[in-house]
């Protein structure tokens, strides 16, 4: 069942490797973005807002920590590198005439402060002793020691005059040695930290040659020293990073992982980590990755911190010989429930969602009425209890969490159909969610306004007062965003201003239509210009009718899909004392009235035969109790990403809760229910090399099989989270989910049927 999808490489960088073998199977070098496909930041420094010659960022969004130069310790205009008086490559101090003192300091802990690095001596032996060669086998080196960050690493490029000069001169150094290179001067950092100013060099045009790179790094460091610049240096060769799963027939590896994971979980149980996984990695190709040595992947927000130094060493010491060890920076599993108020239509694959129809598609937008945020309506489940039968929409527990359910969820117990909140139908589920409906409505309004302005320009009508009001509101919003303490009166003013702006926009559109009609009635609609105006008028009228329909759909019961009926709560299953962890439980059921609104149990598959497009309905009415097939290919349809495909990793993944108060990370597991398992739960990972399989808004997606001898695809899991880079998703086996549903509700799962 080939599931459609947009398969393009993601923008995230690879994790750094602590114990990679020195062969082509080691992940190498794409920790730093290039100009074309690098992850950029909305607050990236540009020519307009870049720091001045003192190298210190001056705006509120710019990095300002100890690693970055500040006003007090940055080079001044007198000694800063400038176009006119800067030391160039031609007259820079090179390795040949640099100091070569034999008293080479060890520098086990290189100075982190920008100016303190100025005292670090020059000379080939000295600079080589200061290099960061921890990732040399991955063809990645840097200066000074311990400066290289584990991936993925974020970048804010600098484009001021000093940085531009450095870039040009370092490029000359590389070219003179016969290398072409992509060079950036940027802040490199994790999360919300400020990061360090770094010269990033990506050598190209030759086979990898780390020994040659070390010579070039010495020359670059010498050049920067003479310029009064003491930023970090990072060198690597760009490449794509592939991930491949462990397959079910690799019995020796899976048995060893059962032992290895217990050892590592014992070490990590009181540590701040996000996930523990086993998979294969390669920088060369997906094919090569399939035969690469298995790597234990440890994800944590503290992987590069001093407090984790002993933890990293303990993990390396405890590593079994058949595995390599990889560390990846992660702020937490991405709870794929979109909490954004302002997410636009471009984030939602609207063409494949039945927004307001009587039958909602699998993977449609879902939310709690009156609440912010969006998740996914996974699929339809039918339960029976004696002679009673009912249909439900399945999603995640954390998708339905809202003010109404907050107090109950803190108890870490399942929600049953007998709870007063369920009996009184206080939690109403809608599709699309309020957030997506508002964005759909407002997005259509923007289209209408833009179209009206296009017409206005053609007939010479513009409203200066409207333009002025929009500018005033933008300034007010900027002021509120920048204020440390936002005053209520400013918020009230903004609310009133936006309401006034909406009225002005409506009046402008109305006047534009009136002027168009008047233009035609006056007999001036002759020729092509008149035909264009008539066409614009018709298009605008249709847009307005569409927006009116959207408004009506949102205000009446057309979006109503059901009421919350039962939920797992923030729990995990508990296995026996010999098991490492229980399964994540993160499910919720909304009871539907199919006579009013239903969710489909099939999807549309487009195929081509003899050049003719055929669209057929594929039923999804069966489920697999376990995941046993070799190299199981899967697909899922989520509210945000639409159809994405992946492959199941047979090696168990272990995830950790960060607590229910952390809005940015996964909140499906309670800290209080994990006394027996140390806050650690088991999950199944599914991996994609080509795209992000889980993004905010995809929570609640049903994962279905995408291969096999069965005549139709089957449910295999319920997705609840994604990795920090979005290329790995995490799910609970659907058999585990259904067993818990039956235990909590006392009803039996009738549909989907178990696949024997």
Q: Tell me: the pLDDT tens digits for 604-638?
A: 766 666 767 666 778 888 998 776 655 488 889 99
Domain final residue pick, 281, 309, 332: 332
Whether residue 14 contacts residue 152, with contact meaning beta carbons closer than 8 Å, is answered with yes
Supply the range of the domain harboring residue 277. 242-332
- Say which residue, 452 or 90, is predicted with more confidence: 452
Cis peptide leading into 4, omega within 30 of 0? Answer: no
Distance, CA of 605 to CA of 103 (rounded, Å): 71
Identify the pLDDT of residue 255: 94
Residue 720 pLDDT more than 80? yes
Average pLDDT in the chain: 73
The number of helix segments (H) and strand segments (E) in the chain equals 13, 33
- Say which residue, 20 or 577, is predicted with more confidence: 577
Do 174 and 302 have their domain in common? no
Domain final residue pick, 168, 201, 236: 236
Identify the pLDDT of residue 744: 95
Domain final residue pick, 282, 299, 332: 332
Identify the pLDDT of residue 554: 65
Number of structural domains the chain divides into: 3
Do 214 and 113 have their domain in common? yes
Indicate the pLDDT class of residue 423, thresholds 50, 70 and 90.
very high
Enter the tokens of residue 193.
């930290």
Any domain includes 586: no
Do 211 and 109 have their domain in common? yes
Whether residue 702 contacts residue 362, with contact meaning beta carbons closer than 8 Å, is answered with yes
b/e sequence 156-180, b meaning 16+ C-beta within 10 Å? bbbbbbbbbbbbebbbebbeeeebe
Distance, CA of 227 to CA of 120 (rounded, Å): 14
CATH number of the domain at 318, please. Answer: 3.30.70
Any domain includes 653: no
Distance, CA of 121 to CA of 99 (rounded, Å): 8
Q: Classify the phi-psi angles of 425: left when phi > 0, otherwise alpha if psi is within -120 to 50, otherwise beta.
A: left
Out of 508-522, 620-634, 715-729, the most confident range is 715-729
Enter the tokens of residue 287.
């094919």
Indicate the pLDDT class of residue 503, thresholds 50, 70 and 90.
low
Average pLDDT over residues 272-301: 84
| 3-class state of residue 131 by DSSP | coil
Query: 314: exposed, middle or buried (C-beta count within 10 Å: 0-12, 13-18, 19+)?
Result: middle
Q: Tell me: the pLDDT tens digits for 338-385?
A: 555 434 333 344 443 356 778 888 899 999 988 888 899 999 999 999
**What phi and psi, each to the nearest 5 degrees, are found at residue 608?**
-125, 125
Do 468 and 552 have their domain in common? yes
Helix spans in 269-395 (H): 286-289, 309-317
Residue 288 pLDDT more than 80? no
The neighbour count for residue 607, using CB atoms within 10 Å, is: 10
Any domain includes 571: no
Q: Tell me: the pLDDT tens digits for 308-339?
A: 999 999 999 999 999 999 998 887 776 555 55
Indicate the pLDDT class of residue 705, thresholds 50, 70 and 90.
confident
Average pLDDT over residues 11-35: 36
Distance, CA of 224 to CA of 505 (rounded, Å): 55
Place of tokens 């310790």: 73
Residue 582 pLDDT more than 90? no
- Say which residue, 290 or 540, is predicted with more confidence: 290
Indicate the pLDDT class of residue 465, thresholds 50, 70 and 90.
low
Pairing of strands 582-585, 602-609: unpaired
Residue 673 pLDDT more than 50? no
The verdict on pTM exceeding 0.75 is no
Identify the pLDDT of residue 377: 93
Average pLDDT over residues 407-416: 85
Do 166 and 275 have their domain in common? no
Closest CA to 227 of 326, 81, 109, 104: 81
- Say which residue, 114 or 591, is predicted with more confidence: 591
């Amino acid at each position: 069942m080939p599931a459609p999808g947009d398969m393009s490489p993601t923008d995230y960088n690879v994790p750094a490797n602590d114990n990679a073998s020195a062969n082509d199977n080691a992940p190498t070098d794409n920790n730093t973005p290039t100009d074309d496909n690098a992850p950029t930041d909305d607050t990236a420094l540009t020519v307009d807002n870049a720091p001045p010659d003192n190298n210190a960022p001056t705006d509120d969004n710019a990095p300002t920590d100890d690693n970055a130069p500040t006003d007090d310790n940055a080079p001044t205009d007198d000694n800063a590198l400038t176009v006119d008086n800067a030391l160039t490559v031609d007259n820079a101090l090179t390795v040949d005439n640099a100091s070569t003192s034999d008293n080479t300091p060890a520098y086990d802990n290189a100075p982190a402060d920008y100016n303190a690095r100025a005292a670090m001596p020059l000379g080939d032996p000295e600079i080589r002793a200061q290099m960061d060669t921890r990732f040399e086998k991955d063809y990645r080196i840097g200066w000074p020691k311990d400066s290289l960050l584990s991936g993925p690493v974020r970048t804010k490029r600098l484009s001021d005059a000093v940085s531009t000069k450095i870039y040009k001169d370092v490029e000359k150094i590389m070219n003179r040695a016969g290398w072409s290179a992509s060079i950036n001067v940027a802040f490199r950092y994790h999360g919300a930290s400020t990061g360090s100013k770094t010269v990033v060099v990506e050598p190209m045009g030759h086979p990898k040659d780390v020994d040659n790179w070390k010579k070039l790094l010495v020359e670059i460091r010498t050049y920067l020293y003479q310029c009064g610049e003491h930023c970090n240096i990072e060198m690597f060769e760009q490449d794509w990073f592939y991930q491949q799963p462990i397959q079910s027939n690799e019995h020796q590896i899976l048995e060893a992982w059962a032992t290895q994971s217990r050892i590592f979980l014992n070490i990590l149980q009181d540590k701040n980590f996000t996930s523990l996984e086993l998979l294969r990695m390669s920088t060369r190709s997906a094919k090569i990755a399939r035969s690469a040595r298995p790597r234990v992947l440890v994800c944590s927000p503290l992987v590069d911190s001093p407090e984790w130094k002993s933890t990293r060493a303990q993990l390396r010491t405890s590593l079994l010989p058949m595995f390599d060890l990889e560390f990846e920076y992660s702020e937490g599993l991405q709870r794929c429930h979109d909490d954004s108020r302002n997410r636009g239509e471009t984030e939602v694959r609207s063409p494949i969602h039945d927004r307001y129809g009587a039958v909602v598609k699998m993977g449609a937008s879902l939310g709690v009425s009156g609440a912010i945020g969006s998740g996914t309506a996974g699929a339809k489940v039918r339960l029976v209890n004696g002679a009673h039968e009912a249909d439900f929409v399945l999603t995640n527990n954390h998708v339905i969490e809202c003010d109404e359910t907050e107090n109950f969820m803190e108890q870490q117990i399942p929600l049953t159909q007998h709870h007063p909140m369920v009996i009184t139908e206080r939690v109403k589920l809608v599709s699309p969610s309020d957030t997506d409906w508002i964005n759909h409505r407002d997005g259509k309004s923007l289209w209408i306004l833009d179209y009206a302005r296009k017409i206005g320009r053609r007939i010479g009508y513009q409203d200066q007062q409207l333009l002025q009001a929009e500018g005033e509101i933008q300034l007010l919003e900027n002021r509120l965003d920048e204020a440390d303490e936002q005053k209520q009166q400013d918020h009230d003013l903004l609310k009133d201003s936006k309401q006034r702006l909406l009225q002005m926009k409506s009046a402008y559109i109305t006047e534009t239509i009136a002027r168009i009609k008047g233009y035609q009635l006056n007999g001036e609609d002759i020729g092509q210009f008149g035909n264009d105006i008539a066409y614009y008028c018709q298009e605008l009228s249709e847009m307005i009718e569409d927006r009116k329909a959207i408004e009506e759909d949102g205000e009446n019961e057309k979006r109503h899909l059901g009421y919350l009926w039962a939920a797992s709560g923030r729990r995990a299953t508990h296995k026996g004392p010999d098991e490492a962890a229980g399964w994540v439980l993160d499910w919720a059921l909304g009871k539907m009235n199919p006579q009013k609104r239903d969710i489909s149990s099939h999807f549309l598959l487009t195929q081509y035969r003899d050049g003719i497009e055929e669209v057929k309905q594929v039923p999804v009415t069966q489920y697999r109790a376990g995941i046993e097939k070799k190299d199981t290919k899967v697909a899922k349809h989520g509210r945000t990403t639409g159809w994405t495909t992946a492959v199941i990793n047979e090696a168990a993944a272990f995830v950790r809760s960060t607590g229910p108060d952390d809005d940015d990370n996964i909140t499906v597991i309670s800290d209080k229910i994990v006394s027996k398992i140390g806050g650690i739960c088991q999950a199944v990972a599914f991996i994609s090399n080509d795209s992000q399989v889980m993004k905010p808004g995809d929570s609640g997606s049903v994962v279905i099989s995408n291969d096999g001898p069965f005549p139709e695809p089957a449910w295999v899991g319920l997705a609840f989270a994604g990795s920090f880079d979005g290329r790995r998703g995490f799910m609970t086996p659907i058999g585990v989910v259904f067993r818990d549903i039956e235990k909590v509700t006392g009803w039996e799962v009738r549909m989907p049927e178990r696949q024997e």
